[in-house]
Amino acid sequence: MLKTLLACTIAVSALLAAGPASAETKDKKIALSNNYAGNSWRQAMLKSWDKVTKKAVADGIVAAADPFTTSENQVTEQAAQIQNLILQGYNAIVINAASPDALNGVVKQACDAGIIVVSFDGIVKEPCAWRIAVDFQAMGASEVEYLAKKMPEGGNVLEIRGLAGVFVDDEISKGINDTLAKYPQFKNVGNVHGNWAQEVAQKEVAGILPSLPEIKAVVTQGGDGYGAAQAFAAAGRPTPLIIMGNRQDELQWWKEQKDKNGYETMSVSIAPGVSTLAFWVAQMILDGKEVPKDLTVPFLRIDQDTLEANLANTEKGGVANVEYTAEDAAKVVAGK
């Protein structure tokens, strides 16, 4: 047992010491295939990718790290995009996928061509690919658990979902509703798709509000909290407890309400910088490192006592974020 533990310790130490960056990948090209860019989270994700990968290219770690985004959230368009990346000779493709299943065929084509495929956020189920995921069901569940502690008396809940047909939307919604079932004092009385965008959420909430009873809480998926608040205000209805999604405008509104009347809530989302973790993981695999097929990263949660610090570190129009270094990626791979 002691020998086994010692061997594992040495192996992890060696991985951390070596780090993912190596001259062995200086001639390798990595592409990002992104299926959607129509909200602040996706924009922040692309910005993080650009910031980290440009430095990696300048430092000679890889030859290229080019991002590609489809004009629509369509599986067929992303599949065609990935086929083009295969033909263009990329050594690795990092994917934020429109579907966990529908891209499996083209992902298998990439793998068969000797290309490393790493999916994140919107992951793919094709066994040859790597997956970097957040437990989105747990993220949804955490919202309801917060409500149960904050509002033990319960009440009517409005659910704002994300982009219809996308894996992430389904998983978060499942986590929310499975957990609501544990607390019969809460009732989900309506849901709309806000597409993870404030303006869409505001419009959709405004459209459903006239048909709804009093709402005590709003559960969300990110990018929709401020829009919901605006819709309630425009309708002249009391502001419910709205779970936020780490966007700067949400955090700013929350801070204003907190200062004005002590408003309390929480905020949760996956950090857009997970794209940079996916980049480093792809680079490590290209460098010959052993990397588990499935990696899990924590979601980023902001509570009442950490609001000001997170708001101060979030740029206007952006999202609270964490960007990964090569050393951070090595620790995630090592399970630390």
Q: What is the pLDDT of residues 280-307, one digit of tens each?
A: 999 999 999 999 999 999 899 999 999 9
What distance in Å separates the CA atoms of residue 26 and residue 38, rounded to the nearest whole number? 33
Q: Return the axis-axis angle of helices 248-261 and 225-234, rounded to nearest 10°.
A: 50
Arithmetic mean of pLDDT, 125-154: 96
pLDDT at 159: 98
Residue 105 has pLDDT above 60, yes or no: yes
Residue range 314-332, pLDDT digits in tens: 999 899 999 999 999 999 9
pLDDT at 259 over 80: yes
pLDDT(9) > 70: no
Compute the average pLDDT of residues 260-271: 96
CA distance 261 to 278: 41
Query: What average pLDDT does this structure show over 136-140?
Result: 96
Evaluated on CA atoms 305, 308, 309, 310, the torsion sign reads positive
Gap between the Cα atoms of 214 and 218, Å rounded: 11
Share of the chain above pLDDT 90, in %: 84
pLDDT level of residue 17 (50, 70, 90 thresholds): very low
pLDDT: which is higher, 324 or 19: 324
Q: Are 157 and 187 in contact (CB under 8 A)?
A: yes
pLDDT of residue 4: 37
The owner of tokens 């894996």 is 167
Q: Strand order in 155-161's β-sheet?
A: 186-193, 155-161, 217-219, 241-242
Q: What is d(CA 95, CA 202) in angstroms, rounded to the nearest whole number? A: 30
How far is the C-alpha of 242 from the C-alpha of 229, rounded, in Å? Answer: 8
| Category of 169 on φ-ψ map: left (φ > 0), alpha (ψ -120 to 50) or beta | alpha
Distances in Å between the alpha carbon of 12 and those of 231, 287, 329? 51, 16, 13
More confident residue, 152 or 317: 152
The pLDDT value given to residue 18: 43
pLDDT-based confidence at 1, cuts 50/70/90? very low
Residue 23: predicted pLDDT:
55
> What's the N-to-C CA distance of the chain in angstroms?
21
pLDDT tens digit sequence for 155-189: 999 999 998 988 889 999 999 999 999 999 999 99
192 secondary structure, DSSP code: E
% of the chain at pLDDT higher than 70: 93
* pLDDT score of 39: 86
Pairing status of strand 300-302 against strand 267-269: antiparallel
> For residues 193 and 177, what is the distance between their CA atoms, to the nearest angstrom?
15
> Amino acid letter at 191?
N
Q: What is the pTM of this model?
A: 0.83
- Kindly provide the residue ranges of all beta strands, DSSP E only, lying in the chain, ordered along the sequence: 29-34, 64-69, 92-96, 116-120, 130-133, 155-161, 186-193, 217-219, 241-242, 267-269, 294-296, 300-302
Provide the 10 A C-beta neighbour count for residue 255: 16
Q: What is the mean pLDDT of the chain?
A: 92
Quickly state the pLDDT bin for 119 (edges 50, 70, 90).
very high
Instruction: Give yes or no for residue 312 having a pLDDT over 50.
Output: yes
Residue 14 has pLDDT above 50, yes or no: no
What pLDDT, in 10s, does the model give residues 29-84? 999 999 988 888 999 999 999 999 999 999 999 999 999 999 888 899 999 999 99
**Digit-coded pLDDT (tens) for 206-231:** 999 999 999 999 999 988 999 999 99
